Chains A and B, each alone.
Chain A
């Protein structure tokens, strides 16, 4: 996941085949708008 943060400009978070959130990398890793994204990238589930 950290590698994605380092090398990409945009990222999307998919869960069980559904696109939860897609945005600029900075927004996704700094202040995601979806709680599911936030919980995943901070390791609250995985």
Chain B
């Protein structure tokens, strides 16, 4: 087959983005577990991932620059490269937010002021969105990408329910403002991760169809 090395190079790029995604998903899951259980050890495990990830990020960037410079890709190959670049930027932002989440348990201390049932529900939907947006990238499945992005509405709905509840707590008891503020940050971080998952889904639709869409 012609251009065997080039095709292998494209496969490696795709695998690197997926590996990056798997680590980011793990970081998100662990950060949520750490914040729900107020588990400082688990939170530190998440923070330790940051250094490991910089190698994969570098690998993706170098790979993209080589492909663009040496192979002049076009059509679906170029779309794969553009998508890989955009998705890795979104994954980097998700990683940053997972790190922000992992910093919360140490700041809250003591016990939670409310049961985090709705927050867990919200985080479960976002975990689903993260996993399936990456799966859609792996299989170039624009249908799965669209279905996945649709779940952002549920996340926004839960976000406003918790938001209202937390504001009420602040108005009722000034002593709880400190802890409540961190929970407000927390739901904001989770909601932002859902938005980045939508961006990943948009990149998948572009990869699969060459169509540029807005999904959130």
**A residues neighboring B (CB under 8 Å):** 2, 5, 29-32, 38, 41-46
The answer to whether B2 touches A43, judged by C-beta atoms less than 8 angstroms apart, is: yes
> Which residues on B sit within 8 Å (CB–CB) of A30?
74-75, 78, 210
A39 to chain B, nearest CB (A): 9
Residue contacts A-B, CB under 8 angstroms, 22 given? A2-B72, A5-B74, A29-B75, A30-B75, A31-B75, A31-B79, A31-B209, A31-B210, A32-B75, A41-B74, A41-B75, A42-B3, A42-B73, A42-B74, A42-B75, A42-B76, A42-B77, A43-B2, A43-B3, A43-B6, A44-B7, A45-B2
Q: Cβ of B171 < 8 Å from any Cβ of A?
A: no
Size band of the interface chain B makes with A: 10 to 19
A43 and chain B: residue at smallest CB distance: B3
Interface centre among B2, B72, B73, B79 (most CB of A within 10 A): B2
- Within 8 Å by CB of B3, from A2, A5, A32, A44, lies A44
B72 and chain A: residue at smallest CB distance: A2
Q: Cβ of B1 < 8 Å from any Cβ of A?
A: yes
Docked pose: A16 CA to B72 CA in angstroms: 26
Docked pose: A30 CA to B74 CA in angstroms: 6
> Which residues on A sit within 8 Å (CB–CB) of B74?
5, 29-30, 41-42
> Which residues on A sit within 8 Å (CB–CB) of B79?
31
